[in-house]
Amino acid sequence: MAQSFQCVGLIGKYADPSVGDTLQKLSAFLASRNVEVLLDESTARVLPDHGLAVASREQIGERCDLAIAVGGDGTLLAAGRSLARYDVPLLGINLGRLGFLTDISPQEFEQKLDEILAGNYMVEERFLLHCSIIRDGEHISESEALNDVVVHKWEVARMIEIETWVNGQFVQILRSDGLIVSTPTGSTAYALSGGGPIMHANLDAIVLVPICPHTMSNRPIVVRGDSLIEVLVREDTHSHAQITCDGQINLGLVSGDQIRIRKADHRVRLIHPAGHDHFNLLRAKLHWG
C-alpha cells in the first residue's frame, strides 16, 4: 500500500526569494487537500509574509512524511543529505535548468501531486557517500554526499599528487587537478564532465574519475558500492587541496591527510510520478533525440 502523506515539509532554493510564488501556490494546493504544511526555516527567512508554520530541518525530518524541494538539483541534494537519516521521502519541483533529480515542473505540479497524494507514484532509493578526514591518526571532519566527493586543488595553477587505495589495495599515484568519487546519482554531474560513465541510478557501484590527469592512461574506474576508498594527499604545501561534497560543502586538507570514503549508513528515498523512466530522462536532458 502506498504511503499516505499527511504532513509535508517545503524546502526552497537557498537564499532565493524567487521561489516564493511557487511555494505559495504549492502550500495553498496542499492545504486544500487537508495536508499540514511546514516551511523550512532557512526558506522562511527570505519569504516575508508567507503565513506558514515554520520548522527546522530536524523538525521536518521528525514530523513530516514527505518533503518537497523547490528549486534545482542542488536544492534536492542539500535536502537529501539533511533528511536521509530520518527516512523522509523527497519530491523535487524543478525551477532550475537541468533537473535530473527534480523532475516535476511548476506548471504540472497540481496534476502530479494529486496523483502522488492518491498513492500513484514510484519510490527510488539512492545511496549517499560518507567521507571523513584523518589527520595524525585523528578524525577531524566528516560529511556526506549524494552526488560526489571531490578531492581537488584549491585555486592554484598546479597539480596535486594523491595516492588512491580500494579495500586496502593500492591503486595508483595520481597527478592531476583532483579526483571525483561519485555515486550513480552523481554520474550525470561533475563525473560526466570529467569523462566518467553514466551509471544507472539503481547500480550498487562507485566510480573514481580523475580530473585532468597528467598521464592520459589514468581512466575512470568503477568499483563495488560497498568498497572502502582511501585517498592520501601527497602535496608538499598545505594550502593546495580541499574536499568538496556535492559542490556545496568544503573541507580543507593539508599534506599527509587521509580521506576515507564509503557508503553511508542511510539512503535517500526519492518520489517520482508514476511512469517515471530513467532513460527517457537521459534522452531529454542530454538531447539524445
Quick: pLDDT tens for 49-63.
Answer: 889 999 999 999 999
Confidence (pLDDT) at 97: 75
CA–CA distances in Å: residue 8 to residues 33, 95, 167: 11, 19, 41
Superfamily for the 129-265 domain: Probable inorganic polyphosphate/atp-NAD kinase; domain 2 (2.60.200.30)
Assess contact for 189 and 196: CB atoms under 8 A.
no
Given a cut of 90, is residue 232 above it in pLDDT?
Answer: yes
| Tens digit of each residue's pLDDT (9 = 90 or more) over 102-147 | 989 888 999 999 999 999 999 999 999 999 999 999 999 999 999 9
Please state, for a pLDDT cut of 70, what percent of the chain lies above it.
Answer: 97
- What are 238's three cell numbers? 598545505
Nearby residues of 108 by Cβ (< 8 Å), 6 or more positions away: none
The reply to whether 265 belongs to the active site is: no
pLDDT at 155 over 80: no
Residue 73 DSSP label? H
Position 239 pLDDT exceeds 70: no
- Of 40, 73, 177, 257, the active-site residue reads 73
Mean pLDDT over 17-41 rounds to: 95
DSSP H or E run through 182: strand 178-182
Provide the mean pLDDT of the chain.
Answer: 93
Higher pLDDT, 239 or 243: 243
pLDDT score of 235: 60
pLDDT digits (tens, 9 = 90+) for 51-101: 999 999 999 999 999 999 999 999 999 999 999 999 999 999 999 776 899
pLDDT exceeds cutoff 60 at 17: yes
The second-level CATH assignment, the architecture, of 7-119 is: 3-Layer(aba) Sandwich (3.40)
More confident residue, 155 or 139: 139
Q: SS3 for 63? A: helix
pLDDT of residue 236: 64
Mean pLDDT of 207-235: 95
Domain spans, the chain: 7-119, 129-265
Contact 241, 233 (CB under 8 A): yes
Task: For residue 202, give every residue at least 6 positions away whose Cβ sits within 8 Å of its Cβ, in sequence order, or none.
Answer: 124, 184
